[in-house]
Amino acid sequence: MDKANHRFAFQDLNYKLLIIGLVINIIGFILMIGGGSADPTKFDAEALFSPVRLTVSPILIIAGYIIMIYAIMKKPKKADNNETPDK
């Protein structure tokens, strides 16, 4: 088998998109954390039901997964066929 014919399924762009999607996912999960209270008898509805936790963080998580799926599914560009391997 010829080494010139072997290519990896992922290129640099795929890895960059995968890392970007993972970072966006982690940010979404971090924004979702919280809302608890140190005092178990106190209920803080504003912290628990904040718009960041209920709207922004799920959107970021879904966007992160979409970017990661796109990074996995993206095909690498084809190499130039001008060069022919020596036989």
Residue 85 forms part of a structural domain:
no
**Could you report the per-residue pLDDT of 25-76, keeping only the tens digit for each?**
999 999 999 777 778 888 888 888 888 899 999 999 999 999 999 999 988 7
Predicted confidence at residue 43, as pLDDT, reads 83
Residue 30 lies in domain: 7-35+43-73
Whole-structure pTM value = 0.73
Per-residue pLDDT at 80 exceeds 60: no
Residue 86 forms part of a structural domain:
no
Residue 26 forms part of a structural domain:
yes
Number of folded domains that form the chain? 1
Residue 81 forms part of a structural domain:
no
Kindly report the backbone phi and psi dihedral angles of residue 64, in degrees, each rounded to the nearest multiple of 5, phi listed first: -60, -45
Distances (CA, A) of 42 to 36, 45, 54: 10, 10, 21
Residue 80 forms part of a structural domain:
no
SS3 state of residue 38 = coil
